Amino acid sequence: MAHVPFEYGLYLAAALFLVGLTGVLVRRNLIFVLASIEIMLNAAGLAFVVAGSRWGQPDGQVMFIFILAMAAAEVAVGLALALLFRRAFGSLDIDAASRMRG
Amino acid sequence: MTVVFYLAAAVALVSTLLVVTRRNTIHALLYLVVSLLAVAVVFYTLGAPFVAALEVIIYAGAIIVLFLFTVMLLNVGRQAEGDEPPRLRPISFLGPGLLSAALLVELAVAISTGPAARTGVHAVPPRAVGLSLYGPYAIGVELASTLLLAALIGARHLGQRQREPELGPGDAAEARRAGTTLPGEPSPSSEPSLPQPVGRDA
């Protein structure tokens, strides 16, 4: 189990985070934007876990659990907002909300 | 175990790329499940079995089910393909892809030139995580529970308001008096997350 270099876990976390960032930048569907944010949060948690397992400390996993709670809260509110968005604009294209109307 | 790590990392990367590039919402979310399960395997190979279990149960279990539930509720499986017809061309990925590639190079340089830490991974048992959670991080646990409560109340509030903007106050009151639902109002059976008050129709 102890043969995976520490850096490769961080490379994987960086790559996953940047894929999620690209998704946020490219996609215009609200569901996809939320899913990309989930990918980014998951990658950040992966970096915490990798660092925690590198030094053999439980703090990385504790931080991952906090990130998990935050992601769950964010998804609950975000999906409720997606329901409202669909109701208000008739689509999930976030460019439909580019104007402020009070 | 090393082979398992590389295999799971490759699966995670490929499936995450597929999540970002799919047009069909359901397909993308199912690829996201694969990605999260692969990351769970990565956690397991890194000696973090507790977090691997949490990843499967909460991320792949609860959060993705919430996503799928919302997608089914919105009925956007097909319409999502029409939501972004001209934008999701391969050329759309050029700018953000280049920016992300530049960032990836920077991060790779930063990681590879950091302080030499070339020892392997150390397994952290769930017992240590639990002792740490309820010892020095007890305040954090309380704050996380408060955050979840706030999210629960916020989502409930948003879900409660979602039918009011379409109805004028008179319409809603009249419909409530008549005990009927307006045509634009969804039937109660389609929204199990919104409990209907029992005494309203009486």
Q: How confident is the model at residue B194 (pLDDT cuts 50, 70, 90)?
A: very low
Size of interface A-B (CB pairs under 8 A): 251
CB-based contact B23:B15 (threshold 8 Å): no
Q: Which residues pair with residue A4 across a beta bridge?
A: none
- B 107-166 near A (Cβ less than 8 A): 107-108, 111-112, 117-124, 128-129, 131-133, 137, 140, 144-145, 147-148, 150-152, 154-155, 158-159, 161-163, 165-166
Which ipTM was obtained for this model? 0.90
Per-residue pLDDT, B73: 84
For domain A17-89, which CATH number applies: 2.40.110.10, 3.40.50.300, 2.60.40.350, 1.10.287.3510? 1.10.287.3510
Nearest to A22 among B9, B20, B150 (CB): B20
pLDDT in tens, A42-76: 999 999 999 888 888 889 899 999 999 999 999 99
Tell me how far apart the alpha carbons of residues B58 and B65 are, in angstroms, rounded to a whole number.
Answer: 10
Q: How far apart are the first and last CA of chain B?
A: 64
Local structure of A63: helix, strand or coil: helix
Residue B112 sits at φ, ψ, to 5 deg, of: -75, -25
Domain range annotation of chain A: 17-89
Structural domains of chain B, with CATH: 1-119 (1.20.120.1200), 137-202 (no CATH)
- B 36-75 near A (Cβ less than 8 A): 36, 39, 42-43, 45-48, 50-51, 54-55, 58-59, 62-63, 66-67, 70-71, 73-74
Chain A residues with beta carbon closer than 8 angstroms to that of B120: 1-6
Contact A6 B76 (CB under 8 A): no
Task: Write the Ramachandran bin of B119: left for phi over 0, alpha for psi from -120 to 50, otherwise beta.
Answer: beta
Question: Which pair of structure tokens corresponds to residue B62?
Answer: 């609860």
A5 pLDDT more than 80 = no
Q: What is the pLDDT averaged over residues B13-25?
A: 89
pLDDT in tens, B52-103: 999 999 998 899 999 988 888 887 655 555 555 555 677 777 888 888 888 8
